[in-house]
């Protein structure tokens, strides 16, 4: 049994005993002459259950606890604690059974019923039963229409499934409830639709959606990427320099994505244009290491060397130097730097700090949109 699991079990045991004792005391106040023997007998299945838990026999433990809860008048809290514990252990079906049992009890008050319904929805969600989770979250929202965490949970399920229209509706609802600014989130959902339209070669639709996304939030990098691809396909009239200029003005943190895209897919004429644009930036001393390095890394080493030299580019950080070495040197130092480069993450979520190699529009850990930023020097020192 892992330490984590053991900790959980101990926590559960403490909670159960505390609840039982508290419930017992309340009972005592009402009935001061309660038969001690009866109390002791109602403790027995509880202790048995704890024993089973510690012996890693959760099914038997569950039966014992249900028995304990049945014998005890005020058992809802025991059920709740048990359900939470099983969900935390990843035993979702057991958690579901407990919460369903609880919801079937006629003696629950309104607050307990709400908590059990919310817990059951989370069991389904965590267990991967997304349709059932959605239905259960809907029931929670019937009880409390302004319960933002339930709307948020539905939104996450729709986003995971790529159901952007449903997600947009839920985001509107969430915004109405919380009154918080959701423009960046909204822009990214629209941009996802644009991205899919682009994948279907529905260029006009993609253009319109990307435009709409940028109107909502000009820093939406995914919408800018859609427009850049349309430009490369000859479907957008803006010039490349204007497009890059705009990107740098509104979303400088992700300009490296644009440059990598252009270096990878652009024809020679386009590449020359970017090279000139970047050269001008470096000379104006406005360049950020990431943009230039993203470009150099996609050049053949000889070209990257030539560009770096022509621009007088000197990285300011150790991380930058290693990336430059990896991109331009063919000797042993270059090979060392390339080995480092092959596994070093490049992006970090500004919300939760998770580090990833490729940029993600939605953080894989905290699910926030548009929060990835290029990793900077201090992260390199730590890593």
> Could you list the residues that contact Zn ion (CB under 5 A)?
349, 351-352, 363, 365-366
- End-to-end, the C-alpha distance of the chain in Å comes to 31
**SS3 (DSSP) at 146:** coil
Of 298 and 362, nearer to Zn ion (C-beta) is 362
Q: CB of residue 365 vs Zn ion: minimum separation in angstroms?
A: 5
Of 38 and 365, nearer to Zn ion (C-beta) is 365
How far is the C-alpha of 101 from the C-alpha of 350, rounded, in Å? 42
**Which residue shows structure tokens 């905290």?**
366
How far is the C-alpha of 344 from the C-alpha of 256, rounded, in Å? 16
How far is the C-alpha of 185 from the C-alpha of 13, rounded, in Å? 42
Q: CB of residue 356 vs Zn ion: minimum separation in angstroms?
A: 9
Phi-psi category of 34—alpha, beta or left, where left has phi over 0 and alpha has psi -120 to 50?
Answer: beta
Q: CB of residue 366 vs Zn ion: minimum separation in angstroms?
A: 3
Q: CB of residue 351 vs Zn ion: minimum separation in angstroms?
A: 4
Q: CB of residue 161 vs Zn ion: minimum separation in angstroms?
A: 20
Q: CB of residue 90 vs Zn ion: minimum separation in angstroms?
A: 22
Of 136 and 192, nearer to Zn ion (C-beta) is 192
Residues 79, 102 contacting (CB under 8 angstroms) = yes
Of 291 and 361, nearer to Zn ion (C-beta) is 361
How far is the C-alpha of 263 from the C-alpha of 358, rounded, in Å? 16
How far is the C-alpha of 261 from the C-alpha of 228, rounded, in Å? 9
Count other C-beta atoms under 10 Å from residue 383's C-beta: 12
Of 1 and 352, nearer to Zn ion (C-beta) is 352
Cβ-Cβ contacts under 8 Å for 25 (sequence gap 6 or more): none
**Closest to 258 measured CA to CA, from 207, 224, 286:** 224
Of 276 and 365, nearer to Zn ion (C-beta) is 365
How far is the C-alpha of 225 from the C-alpha of 358, rounded, in Å? 15
DSSP assigned state of 116: H
Q: CB of residue 348 vs Zn ion: minimum separation in angstroms?
A: 9
Of 73 and 353, nearer to Zn ion (C-beta) is 353
Q: CB of residue 256 vs Zn ion: minimum separation in angstroms?
A: 19
Q: CB of residue 258 vs Zn ion: minimum separation in angstroms?
A: 22
Exposure class string for 258-267: b at 16+ Cβ within 10 A, else e:
bbbbbbeebe
Of 140 and 349, nearer to Zn ion (C-beta) is 349
Cβ-Cβ contacts under 8 Å for 147 (sequence gap 6 or more): 118, 140, 141
DSSP line for 250-300:
H-GGGHHHHHHHHHHH--HHHHHHHHHHHHHHHHTT---HHHHHHHHTTS-
Of 195 and 361, nearer to Zn ion (C-beta) is 361
């Amino acid at each position: 049994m892992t330490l984590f699991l053991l900790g959980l079990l101990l926590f559960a045991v403490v909670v159960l005993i505390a609840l039982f004792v508290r419930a017992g005391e309340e009972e005592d106040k009402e009935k001061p002459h309660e038969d001690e023997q009866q109390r002791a007998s109602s403790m027995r299945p509880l202790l048995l259950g704890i024993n089973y838990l510690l012996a890693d026999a959760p099914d038997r433990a569950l039966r014992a606890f249900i028995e304990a809860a049945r014998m005890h008048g005020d058992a809802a809290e025991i059920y709740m604690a048990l359900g939470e514990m099983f969900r935390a252990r990843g035993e979702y079906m057991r958690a579901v059974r407990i919460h369903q049992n609880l919801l079937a009890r006629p003696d629950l008050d309104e607050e307990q019923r709400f908590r059990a319904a919310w817990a059951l929805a989370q069991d389904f969600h965590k267990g991967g039963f997304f349709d059932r989770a959605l239905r259960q979250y809907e029931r929670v929202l019937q009880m409390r229409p302004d319960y933002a965490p339930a709307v948020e949970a539905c939104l996450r399920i729709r986003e995971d499934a790529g159901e952007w229209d449903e997600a947009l509706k839920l985001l509107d609802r969430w915004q109405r409830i919380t009154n918080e600014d959701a423009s960046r989130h909204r822009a990214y959902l629209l941009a996802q639709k644009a991205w899919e339209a682009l994948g279907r070669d529905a260029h006009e639709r993609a253009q319109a959606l990307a435009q709409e996304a940028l109107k909502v939030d000009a820093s939406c990098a995914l919408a800018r990427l859609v427009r850049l691809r349309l430009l490369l396909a000859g479907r957008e009239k803006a010039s490349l320099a204007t497009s890059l200029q705009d990107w740098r003005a509104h979303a400088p943190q992700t300009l490296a994505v644009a440059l990598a895209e252009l270096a990878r897919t652009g024809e020679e004429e386009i590449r020359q244009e970017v090279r000139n644009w970047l050269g001008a930036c470096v000379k104006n001393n406005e360049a950020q290491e990431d943009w230039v390095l993203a470009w150099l890394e996609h050049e053949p080493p000889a070209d990257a060397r030539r560009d770096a030299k022509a621009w007088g580019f000197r990285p300011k950080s150790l991380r930058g130097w290693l990336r430059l070495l990896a991109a331009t040197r063919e000797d042993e130092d270059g090979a060392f730097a390339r080995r480092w480069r092959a596994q070093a993450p490049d992006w970090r979520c500004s919300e939760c700090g998770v580090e990833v190699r490729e940029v993600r529009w939605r953080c894989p850990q905290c699910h926030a949109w548009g929060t990835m930023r290029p990793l900077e020097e201090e992260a390199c020192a730590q890593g």
